[in-house]
Structure 1
């Protein structure tokens, strides 16, 4: 039941629609005696449109979206019993009915630049039901607009790929966040349980409870345009994005065991000898989503703070590099450390392996696939700010970052800049 319906029904005075008394005389059994203005319950409701006033929305001009919609009954003894107002996108407009049923007023701001249809139910002085329908269009608004940019770009991704929504302005309040979040829609085939999570005041991520199923079709869109978020702030434009997931590919790197086991659609397909970060450059533990891939990339020690000319300094071209973090953690070919593959951790934070294995893995992986590092001594992968560490939050922690599901975003971390790769 809509808010407007509830208010209208609870405001009724308790008067029955038609006053009748059943006469039990034998010759008149089953005949109903009513007043002179009685109307059969099977008749159509009368057209109430001419008995209603729609205030500023009653004319042909576009309506000010920052002014409330006001509807009143003009005829003596008539009253409004129900109001249903929706825009072309199906968004309802909440409102309140006066105690005497003579007037209704919207309690939310109208959407700017939208077509509205209003259906009003009434009763006249004799209790006869009426119906009236009115349409109007709202004008644009001079309020500040918040545009939305969805990511990633259209294409096929791994089952760990989060969806991102970057806002052009900050939305700090919980109520305002809930309005924005509810207008950002994710539809999937097959159906998947998921939720948005506020990373900060300008960015949201969306992920399912578990990884996306393989071959899922995903559409991300917004109904925010023109919608009132706060005083002087309305929703702006957003371009819808269509994605799909490919096969489920996961790689689990055992840091202490010096191996990486690769799974495809749940089945183990290969185990590779590896080396990871040595003391002082430990590889992060946790789940990381593939950000991108480069057949060749130049890696330098200075890009991660190692002084040029020092014992740890390096500058070299690396092949078959799969990026896991913005700070420069990759999986790549490392023929210079072949003697340590499978036996020791000697890198500056990346996961190294033979050139042949790196190329095989490079060809198998795609952005959105998941690489997980376990049993290491390094710090944990951050959920946000250094790539997609979203899967390192439990489902309960994830929901806590939703303005609709939880109490805030205590686990979110601000985004950081993108650094050059480590080796």
Structure 2
């Protein structure tokens, strides 16, 4: 019984590996491991890129690598630019053609490594190097990540604000795929499109305490849509502090503060009275202000009426942009722990407010339960991101959203004015 040359090569390799051990795993057409060095497949491979000195490829066109007739087949292709970004692609089942499935970047330098196999099973390789041209359009989409670099609480979302609107789902997928969030330890997280120009990223659960979060964009030079290309973005690094969660029970007029899931304090409080009830739900601390002047006119209360006020407020921890705070309220100490008498804020004694002010940090979590107020808006009045269920959050992603979760709350929230 006769064997083809390729069959003999395979049998010879198998016997040699068995005899010499797993360290020898390749051999050439003649069965000799010393001939395993891949041959230059330059004459067998062609591609649709530039072929002259100084010439550049059009990033609008997909990259194609083709095996010449009778020259064997392509077994693998990797295309990577000088910044380390890979180009996704598909290889035909017969190994005759590979083409890119993700866009090339403009003004980039690419190295393409092509692995081949001839009719005898011998490996070959070819390296292609080329540059891409500037985009024909000069309109660039830039990304600004937030918050500022620093240390934050476990509830802090990452934000990405775009310089241009992106409405098309396919274009959103290009943008979102390029926005990278890495954390140590790793988490299960996703981007959510708040509107056409803003995305938020959060994990399924709160960030792990003491995690490091790094954010960067691979969008620079990538085509997003007709006449729109990605621009540069400044990377961001955040450090997560202790897990601080404050839970206010409006029905029992009490706030319980936890550090790393251990109770560290319980504080008598007062929350919003009828008509000014405090919002239920999870809020993320936006900042702290030692002194704030609060006036009833900012919420539509006329001066001189029984509800009017103009008060100096100290140790004010902000949880909404419209003016909901946790703060010192020495005028209501008699009601703290027993009745809700505020105009929407959470009030406590000056000493307790000072302790809270020193303990809490931006990005920490303040949760209100058992209030008759509205639910905290997911977006637009602070960070209510955690009030969306995980499946609904994922539905707001252009990459991982599922058809069953397409409905989500409106991105534009109804704001309530400043209150005490």
TM-score, shorter chain, exceeding 0.5: yes
SS at match of 1:57: coil
- Please list every run of 5 or more consecutive structure 2 residues that lacks an aligned counterpart in the other structure: 11-28
Which position in structure 2 is the counterpart of 1:414? 411
Q: Does 1:47 align with 2:40?
A: yes
The equivalent position to 1:121 in structure 2, one of 106, 109, 115, is 115
SS at match of 1:363: helix
CA-CA distance at 1:224 after TM superposition: 1.5
Which position in structure 2 is the counterpart of 1:205? 200
Q: Separation in 2 of the partners of 1:294 and 1:17?
A: 81
Task: State the Cα deviation string for residues 176-233 of structure 1 (Å, max 9, x = none).
Answer: 2223222211111122222222212221111112111211111111111112223333
CA-CA distance at 1:277 after TM superposition: 0.7
1:208-247 equivalences in 2 (<5 Å)? 208-247=203-242
Q: Does 1:253 align with 2:241?
A: no
Task: State the Cα deviation string for residues 66-90 of structure 1 (Å, max 9, x = none).
Answer: 123244456x632542433233323
CA-CA distance at 1:353 after TM superposition: 1.0
**Number of equivalences:** 393
Tell me: CA distance 1:125–1:184, structure 2 relative to 1, closer, same or farther (3 Å).
same
Tell me: CA distance 1:269–1:127, structure 2 relative to 1, closer, same or farther (3 Å).
closer
Whether the aligned pair in 2 keeps the contact of 1:150 and 1:166 (CA below 8 Å) is yes
Q: Does 1:389 align with 2:384?
A: yes
The equivalent position to 1:274 in structure 2, one of 262, 265, 269, is 269
CA-CA distance at 1:21 after TM superposition: 10
SS at match of 1:357: helix
Taking structure 1 as the reference length, the TM-score comes to: 0.84
Which position in structure 2 is the counterpart of 1:329? 324
Q: Does 1:320 align with 2:326?
A: no
- Please list every run of 5 or more consecutive structure 1 residues that lacks an aligned counterpart in the other structure: 1-15, 23-37
The equivalent position to 1:140 in structure 2, one of 134, 152, 162, is 134
Tell me: CA distance 1:120–1:422, structure 2 relative to 1, closer, same or farther (3 Å).
same
Root mean square deviation, CA, Å: 2.8
Whether the aligned pair in 1 keeps the contact of 2:141 and 2:162 (CA below 8 Å) is yes
Task: State the Cα deviation string for residues 252-300 of structure 1 (Å, max 9, x = none).
Answer: 1111111111112211122111111111111001111100000001112
Whether the aligned pair in 2 keeps the contact of 1:60 and 1:136 (CA below 8 Å) is no
Whether the aligned pair in 2 keeps the contact of 1:198 and 1:412 (CA below 8 Å) is no
CA-CA distance at 1:125 after TM superposition: 7.2
1:284-299 equivalences in 2 (<5 Å)? 284-299=279-294
Which position in structure 2 is the counterpart of 1:59? 52
Task: State the Cα deviation string for residues 365-414 of structure 1 (Å, max 9, x = none).
Answer: 00011111111111111111111111112222222222222236632432
Q: Does 1:194 align with 2:189?
A: yes
1:54-203 equivalences in 2 (<5 Å)? 54-61=47-54, 62-73=56-67, 77-82=70-75, 83-88=77-82, 89-95=84-90, 97=92, 101=96, 104-122=98-116, 129-143=123-137, 144-203=139-198
Whether the aligned pair in 2 keeps the contact of 1:198 and 1:409 (CA below 8 Å) is no
Q: Separation in 2 of the partners of 1:278 and 1:419?
A: 15
Which position in structure 2 is the counterpart of 1:352? 347
Taking structure 2 as the reference length, the TM-score comes to: 0.85
Q: Separation in 2 of the partners of 1:306 and 1:173?
A: 44
Q: Does 1:18 align with 2:6?
A: yes
Which position in structure 2 is the counterpart of 1:307? 302
Which position in structure 1 is the counterpart of 2:18? none
Q: Separation in 1 of the partners of 2:395 and 2:85?
A: 28
CA-CA distance at 1:19 after TM superposition: 6.3
CA-CA distance at 1:164 after TM superposition: 1.0
Tell me: CA distance 1:251–1:93, structure 2 relative to 1, closer, same or farther (3 Å).
closer
